[in-house]
Amino acid sequence: MIDFKKHPCFNKEAKGQYARVHLPVAPKCNISCNYCNRKFDCVNESRPGVTSNILSPEQSMVYLKGLKEKMPNLSVVGIAGPGDPFANPNETMETLRLVRKTYDDMILCVSSNGLGIGPYIDELAELEVSHVTITINALDPEILSKVYRWVRFDKKGYFGLEGATILLGKQLEAIEKLKAAGITVKANAIVIPGINEDHLPELAEGLAKMGVDLMNTIPLIPVEDTPFSDLTEPEAATMKAIRKEIGAFLPPMTHCSRCRADAAGLLGKDSTEAMELLSEAAKMTVGCGGGEEEERPYVAVASNEGILVNQHLGEADRLYIFKETPNGYKLVNQRVTPSRGKGDDRWVELGDTLSDCRAILVGGIGPKPSKILGKSGIKVVEMSGLIDQGMDAIYKGEDLRTITKAEAFKCGASCSGTGTGCG
């Protein structure tokens, strides 16, 4: 049996004794949930999908070493996004390898939607990743089709019932393989009023038959600019009743803190000092590689989720920074854009922020910021589509004729470029 004693998420008694950290190395996601919006970040906001910084695997080790010095009781290292760990498998697996090599006694865990984890389960077991959480919201594809906008699998997008069926199939395969590998599995289910709340006992019963170890029911957090933003968060009495029902089949988790993707410290008492260490690590160039040989090795991207070029520059609060490597395009960090309301100075400041970038991919941009960035030596490319295709155009000179600027983002001469964003 696996020892739960030092894992605060799996053992309530460890909650006030042992600390955990989530390393935010996985920004991309392979599904789109109707309750999730990862655009917003606030240090006072605690919910999955939120982080203040993205780290490379090497940056995460610098952060972890500093954190371990501050927190001798740190017992768990997890990867939980802010996207899905296995929509970012290279970053996820390299981080786990580095942690295991440095800290052979650390408990390792990951939290995933289960869509892409399958091919990596054998290595997860070899690395002694002892705990995996799979977010699974129903056993009925019809219900799931109401929860997800799209599912991206094997480089192809699926919608509606088709996407839900593919996702569920991969989730069930993953659970079966994880249990066969001797890995403890926790199921997370978001309680969504009017969607899946009456189905959860059936879900618990089915998961119990598959050998799932415990189940965490999480009340929906209505998030701005999502399809479920108008729903009401389930009341405490409702959650208590649901947990009692699922308790007939699986041990219910009752102390979840709905942790951020960069959570660090005791469960429910995240460390402000850790946030400072995280910010410092994100600024380091360790692990970015090759920058000395090239004056501008990187490309900046305006994207909502790290997969598509789909954001107007004026609306982008942060930009994804990529670099070409022998193993494909690697996300090295995210950079916050200058605040609005500065007029032309906003774009001059952004040019300085992106001084090591040869290009920027945007869904739309006004004439004035485009001109200012161009004077900074940054090639501006307006497009819509997959980031990788835009990267191919920048690094390999491939044609972008199949990708055109989105009509919704086209800016005409009337755009003043004042730095206040589009109205």
Give the contacts of 71 (CB within 8 A, at least 6 positions apart): 19, 264, 265, 271, 274
Token output for 100: 């295991």
Reported as type and span, the H/E element at residue 375 is: helix 367-375
Domains and CATH numbers, the chain: 12-280 (3.20.20.70), 290-409 (3.30.420.130)
Whose CA is closest to 72, among 111, 19, 118? Answer: 19
Q: What is the predicted pLDDT for the residue at 15?
A: 54
**Half-sphere exposure (Cβ direction) of 336: Cα atoms closer than 13 Å:** 11
| Model pLDDT, residue 177 | 97
Confidence (pLDDT) at 117: 97
Please tell me the predicted confidence (pLDDT) of residue 422. Answer: 46
Residue 75 is predicted with a pLDDT of 87
Tens digits of per-residue pLDDT, 76-129?
999 988 889 999 999 999 999 999 999 988 999 999 999 999 999 999 999 999
Chunk the chain into consecutive blocks of 10 residues (it has 423) and report each block's average pLDDT, rounded to whole numbers.
56 64 90 77 48 85 90 89 91 94 92 96 95 96 96 92 97 98 95 95 97 94 87 93 95 71 70 78 60 70 92 93 90 90 90 92 92 88 92 84 47 46 44
Q: Are 40 and 95 in contact (CB under 8 A)?
A: no
What is the value of pTM for the model shown?
Answer: 0.68
What strands, in cross-sheet order, belong to the sheet with 318-325?
328-336, 318-325, 298-301, 357-362, 379-382
Distance (Å, whole) CA 391 – CA 155: 16
Q: Are 203 and 189 in contact (CB under 8 A)?
A: yes
The pLDDT of residue 13 is 57
pLDDT recorded at residue 270: 61
